[in-house]
């Protein structure tokens, strides 16, 4: 028996849902759990959230769906599933669904206004590279193109600055001040615009890189992307493919994603003696708790990275 999934609420929501198909399926899974509870609670007939609760004292009088019913649903979920993540995701999806219906004037009362979402932090999987893997990939990049060295500089830049892939793709040459050793991140950032420090040894390589004839062929008074493909922004596919090919050349069997370099940067910073607050500022995390999830306890670092060497070569 389908109640919610055959309702006008669901059809209207489905017609206006513009996110990815995979995201939509996650919402539908939540709706099915809520629908199963409706059936379990004995609901029959056409779903009407505006006339959901019948009055025992006054036949024919109804009330909109109340928060108490949502509480019963959440309690039932907790009895069935031993998963904080499932509970949290279910509440979040249902809150957004009722917010949408209320915003579209399809319901008079939103039963989930201010409804608390259980605190749940999904663990960040440790996918950082070891020091040996970093050096092997950098050497592979240097060997692949010892003259222009774009891939070499790109990866080294990511490992040092910890920029997100969207940020490094959008970084303009004019945002890079090699004299002060600062990169100003304005585009594609998830947090407030903040400067990123660049060490002196990387500055030397960047100065050589931006003066190379292959780079200058597409220079545009500093407004060009720092890392580009014939003057155009590098695509995520291009970067992913670059990492795949370099990993193969370096003899690294694992799959490397662009964000793995950002996570590796956090480990390298801590191994280099940087305190956690400075790492937070370099990664531009709004909350320190996010940074703490990127770096393991110091006692565990020895199993991940060895002592860093002074130079790359």
pTM recorded for the entire structure: 0.58
How many DSSP H helices and E strands does the chain contain? 14, 7
Mean pLDDT on 114-127 = 69
Per residue in 180-191, pLDDT (tens digit) is: 999 988 775 555
Mean pLDDT on 279-289 = 82
Confidence of residue 40 (pLDDT cuts 50, 70, 90): very high
Q: Which helix (H) or strand (E) holds 87?
A: helix 84-103
Q: What is the pLDDT of residue 244?
A: 94
Query: How far apart (Å, rounded) are the C-alpha atoms in residues 116 and 212?
Result: 56
Mean pLDDT on 51-65 = 81
Q: At what angle do helices 258-271 and 150-161 cross, to 10 degrees?
A: 60
Q: What is the pLDDT of residue 303?
A: 43
Per residue in 128-166, pLDDT (tens digit) is: 898 899 999 999 999 999 999 999 999 999 999 999 998
Phi first, then psi: give them for residue 90, nearest 5 degrees.
Answer: -65, -45
Query: How far apart (Å, rounded) are the C-alpha atoms in residues 313 and 309?
Result: 10
Whether the CB-CB separation of 280 and 174 falls below 8 Å is answered with: no
Q: Identify the three-state secondary structure at position 221.
A: coil
DSSP string, 6-73: TSHHHHHHHHH--S-HHHHHHHHHHHHHHHHHHHHTT--SS--GGG-EEPSSSTT-EE---HHHHHHH
Confidence of residue 311 (pLDDT cuts 50, 70, 90): very low
Query: How far apart (Å, rounded) are the C-alpha atoms in residues 228 and 173?
Result: 10
Q: Which residues contact 209 (CB under 8 A, 6 or more apart)?
A: 148, 149, 150, 153, 215
- With 0-12 / 13-18 / 19 or more C-beta atoms within 10 angstroms meaning exposed / middle / buried, residue 199 is exposed
Per residue in 244-271, pLDDT (tens digit) is: 999 999 999 888 989 899 989 988 888 8
């Amino acid at each position: 028996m389908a109640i919610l999934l055959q309702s006008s609420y669901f059809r209207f929501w489905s017609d206006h849902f513009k996110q990815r198909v995979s995201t939509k399926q996650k919402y539908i899974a939540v709706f099915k759990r809520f629908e199963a509870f409706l059936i379990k609670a004995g609901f029959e007939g056409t779903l009407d959230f505006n006339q959901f609760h019948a009055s025992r004292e006054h036949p024919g009088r109804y009330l909109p769906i109340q928060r108490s019913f949502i509480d019963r649903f959440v309690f039932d979920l907790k009895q069935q599933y031993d998963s904080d993540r499932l509970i949290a995701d279910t509440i979040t999806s249902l809150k957004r669904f009722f917010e949408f219906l209320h915003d579209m004037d399809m319901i008079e009362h939103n039963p989930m206004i201010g409804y608390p979402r259980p605190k749940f932090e999904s663990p960040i999987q440790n996918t950082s590279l070891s020091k040996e893997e970093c050096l092997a990939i950098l050497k592979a990049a240097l060997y692949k193109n010892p003259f222009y060295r774009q891939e070499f500089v790109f990866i080294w830049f990511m490992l040092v600055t910890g920029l997100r892939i969207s940020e490094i793709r959008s970084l303009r040459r004019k945002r890079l001040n090699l004299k002060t050793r600062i990169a100003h991140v304005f585009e594609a950032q998830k947090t407030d615009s903040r400067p990123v420090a660049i060490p002196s040894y990387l500055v030397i390589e960047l100065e050589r890189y931006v003066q190379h004839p292959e780079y200058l062929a597409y220079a545009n008074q500093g407004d060009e992307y720092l890392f580009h493909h014939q003057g155009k922004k590098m695509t995520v596919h291009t970067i992913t493919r670059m990492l795949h090919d370099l990993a193969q050349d370096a003899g690294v069997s694992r799959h490397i994603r662009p964000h793995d370099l950002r996570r590796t940067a956090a480990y390298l910073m801590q191994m280099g003696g940087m305190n956690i607050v400075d790492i937070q500022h370099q990664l531009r995390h709004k909350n320190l708790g996010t940074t703490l999830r990127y770096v393991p306890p110091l006692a565990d670092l020895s199993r991940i990275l060895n002592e860093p060497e002074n130079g790359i070569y």
